[in-house]
Amino acid sequence: MTEFWESSFIEKQTMWGFEPADSAILAKDFFIKQGIKNILIPGFGYGRNAKVFLDNDIKVTGIEISKTAIDLFETQEGSDIKIFHGSVTDMPFDQERYDGIFCYALIHLFNKNERAKLIKDCYNQLNPGGYMIFVMISKQAPMFAKGKAVSKDRFEIMKGVKMFFYDQDSVEQEFKKYGLTELTTIQEPSKNKENKVHLPFLTATCQKLG
């Protein structure tokens, strides 16, 4: 998996551009409203979603498996923020507790056990009263049920890329015991002017009660 993401990284960044996802902008607004100043971003990527938080005085810590992505972010923005180089499946990387967690377009790349561990690990790193927001691919996406079936609602859509597709029931099953407060849908556009891709995502917001 690491080799695939490294080799296709330039292509992926071109596809999605460097502007933050709409989901990240909405999460930023939500975190500001809740007074959240300290967040963790598992699946940091090349930082396109981090900057919108940093620009609004929200401290960011990242986790990213691709050294290429980390280097690109640091070349553009500097190395003032902490980014752990490794897989989110190896969380936690520190003993910090965060007021917010934003995880974009990552969880659906994992199998059932890995997804459960990621959700639990993120929840455990929240401060009481904190929020975590997960953005995941929906069954309404055009590539749903395309490619080789791996397990229920999970398909190998291209070589080396296996994706689990969510609906309301599967979101509730995986997140309900972790303080699920809201489930919304969003048509997420590419921010690359040459590639007008829109994909349907689901956004799960959870709060950790004291």
pLDDT value, residue 14 = 41
Secondary structure of residue 113 in the 3-state scheme: helix
pLDDT value, residue 10 = 42
pLDDT value, residue 80 = 84
Helix boundaries (H) for the chain: 2-7, 9-16, 22-33, 51-54, 67-77, 112-124, 168-175
Question: In terms of residue numbers, what domain contains 120?
Answer: 2-207
Contact yes or no for 21/48 (Cβ under 8 A)? yes
Task: Kindly give the parts of the chain with pLDDT less than 70.
Answer: 1-17, 190-197
Into how many domains does the chain fold?
A: 1
pTM, entire model: 0.90
CATH number at residue 197: 3.40.50.150
pLDDT value, residue 4 = 42
Vertex 31, ends 26 and 33: CA angle to 5°? 95
pLDDT value, residue 191 = 58
148 burial class (0-12, 13-18, 19+ CB within 10 angstroms)? exposed
